[in-house]
Amino acid sequence: MTATLLFVVLPYVSLAIFIGGHIWRYRYDKFGWTTRSSQLYERKLLRIGSPLFHFGILLVAVGHIGGLLIPESWTDAVGISETAYHAVAVALGGVAGFMTLGGAAILIYRRRTVGPVFSATTRNDKIMYVLLIGTILLGLGTTVLGNLTGHPHDYRLTVSPWFRSIFYFQPDSDLIMAAPLGFRLHVIAAWVLFAFWPFSRLVHVFSAPIGYLTRPYIVYRSRDEITGSRAPRRGWEIPAKAPIDR
């Protein structure tokens, strides 16, 4: 019953909230669809932490998409051995994970120590940081510990087919239950994060200035009667006064 609730019911509930929450947020809270940028308050730490975090999380997302959605038989068919795949996945995943964690640590330090930034931090932001950092730590810790002990788990035989089975509408919780506890905790934390996603500043992930590419040019014209027919006055020149009718 517990496995069914955590690895069958929870994923579908999380996906429903994720999709429905974004639709609701876009319809009724367009002005709140923002990162609430704090760049005006502090830039030095932000200039370091933000690129680290965003490039790191992008690599993490690409790695998860490839690892979860691409079956092992596909990589075997193109001649990529399991050893080579695992080496590349661990190397890139480790670098991306530490980049993300390091960038997040800088951003959290900045948010806690810079007064105006801390004042602009909401309870919603704090919950988001806890869920996000917790999910990252669980995933990175599971990967690092598995390789340090010399017995890394092949998640493409358990976690990946279980994840794909959700979208086939034939969820098989026995597959995920065969994975180590760390993987299961990482998966649970990720689903909770996805359910919270639409109600946090993370919605900005789906924002892109696409309309800017097709927007017509904005033409600015002066309201003065004379435009360009006379040289501008010097800075210290006093403009002549208009004649006064007596």
Contact between residue 182 and residue 141 where contact means Cβ atoms under 8 Å apart: yes
Average pLDDT over residues 17-46: 88
Higher-pLDDT residue of 152, 180: 180
Cα 118 → chain centroid: 21
Is 80 exceeded by the pLDDT of residue 49?
A: yes
Strands (E) located in the chain:
none
pLDDT band per the 50, 70, 90 thresholds, residue 22: very high
What pLDDT does 150 receive? 65
- Rounded average pLDDT over 213-230: 66
pLDDT confidence of residue 156: 87
Q: What is the pLDDT of residue 126?
A: 93
How confident is the model at residue 152, as a pLDDT?
76
Cβ–Cβ < 8 Å for 49, 124: no
Please state, in angstroms and rounded to a whole number, the distance separating the CA atoms of residues 57 and 21.
Answer: 22
Reduce the DSSP state of residue 2 to 3 states and report it.
helix
Percent of the chain at pLDDT exceeding 70: 85
Residue pLDDT, tens place only, 64-74: 888 888 888 88
pLDDT confidence bin for 144, thresholds 50/70/90:
confident
What average pLDDT does the chain have?
Answer: 85
Q: Is residue 164 scored above 90 in pLDDT?
A: yes
Report pLDDT for 108.
Answer: 93
Residue 234 or residue 7, greater confidence: 7
Three-state secondary structure along 143-167? HHHHHHCCCCCCHHHCHHHHHHHHH
Give the pLDDT mean for 4-12.
95
Q: Which of 19, 67, 62 is nearest to 183 (CA)?
A: 67
Find the helix packing angle between 181-196 and 10-28, rounded to 10°: 20
- Of 197, 180, 185, 204, the C-alpha closest to 135 is 185
Lowest mean pLDDT among 55-64, 100-109, 157-166, 213-222: 213-222
Asked whether 117 and 110 are in contact (CB, 8 A), the reply is yes
Say what percent of the chain tops pLDDT 90: 48
3-state secondary structure 9-52: HHHHHHHHHHHHHHHHHHHHCHHHCCCCCCCCCCCHHHHHHHHH
